[in-house]
Structure 1
């Protein structure tokens, strides 16, 4: 593989994939942690709010001022929605999967640059080895996706919801 083609591969494929997996991992980590913190706070708040039912503060009865039962139901519903959202959208699993792929891709350029591992063999086409190894990492990650998710990704990339029917 010539140097120009390899440099184009580095720019157009390797570096873009590296950025994609880094950003996707960070996005899913942020979503997961946000959902978890909201769940923690609301779960801890629910019994406190429930305990307010019937408490009298001096001459003021709190219950008529705030419909405590309704507030407990609303908080509990939000907790249920967030819990279901975490399970449905798999933010933690996606975060780990994307981060894992990123961590596998990241050192490959260093192995290439410093002639480590398969790049150290004499008479080897280092650029072809690099491309083969990077594509194997990407193929492994892509093959882990269920067919429905792959279809959704194809539609998202094309912007055409009917693109799979063509």
Structure 2
């Protein structure tokens, strides 16, 4: 397949930059919201524990808060929002860096084959992230089984 530089930059590079940017922001938002809830709930426990001696139903409330905190932390551990946020942001910024280095023909792009170098580097970055994602999911699921 032979595509032009402009087509590659728009349809592949920009598309990937936008995808990683959106995914990074989404993961960051979810991570911060859930951690904020955990922080508020954790801070409320000492307040409610002080009320248990006067009102026994506060013991139930504290128990529910504890279960909620545990559930949220477990969900954060499974979904890896924090790790994804950092990883996606890093890849997005790396792709932007490659784009601007290419457009200004600086660094490794000071060559006649600069478009070829760009494609190889961008595809390597994207491929590496895909392999990392597959390995992470394979490890979390205890290995992928056939059938």
TM over 0.5, shorter chain: yes
Q: By how many angstroms is 1:138 displaced?
A: 0.7
Secondary structure of the residue aligned to 1:54 is: coil
Q: Which of residues 131, 136, 139 is equivalent to 1:143?
A: 131
Q: What does 1:109-128 align with in structure 2 at a 5 Å threshold? A: 109-121=99-111, 124-128=112-116
1:38-73: CA deviation from partner (whole Å, max 9, x where unpaired) = 111100101211111234xxxxxxx16xx1111111
- Once the 2 structures are TM-superposed, how far is the Cα of residue 146 of structure 1 from its aligned partner? 3.0
Q: Give the superposed CA RMSD.
A: 2.1
Equivalent residue in structure 1 for 2:78, among 77, 88, 95:
88
Structure-2 residue corresponding to 1:30: 29
Aligned positions, number = 140
Q: Which stretches in structure 2 are left out of the alignment for 5+ residues?
A: 139-145
Report the CA distance between 1:148 and its aligned residue. 7.5
Quote how far apart the aligned CAs of 1:129 are: 1.2
Matches of 1:148 and 1:101 in 2, distance apart?
16
Q: Distance in 2 between matches of 1:12 and 1:115?
A: 20
Distance 1:9 1:149 in 2: 29
Structure 1: gaps (5+ residues): 56-62, 151-163
Offset at residue 149 of structure 1 (A): 3.6
TM-score (norm 1): 0.77
For 2:38, the equivalent position in structure 1 comes to 39
Please report the TM-score for the alignment, with normalisation by the length of structure 2.
0.86
- The Cα of 1:36 is off from its aligned counterpart by 0.8
Spell out, residue by residue over 1:66-104, the C-alpha distance to the aligned partner (whole angstroms, 9 max, x if none): x11111111111111011111111111111111111111
Q: Deviations over 1:122-143 (max 9, x none)?
A: xx22211111111011111111
Partners of 1:90 and 1:41 lie apart in 2 by 21
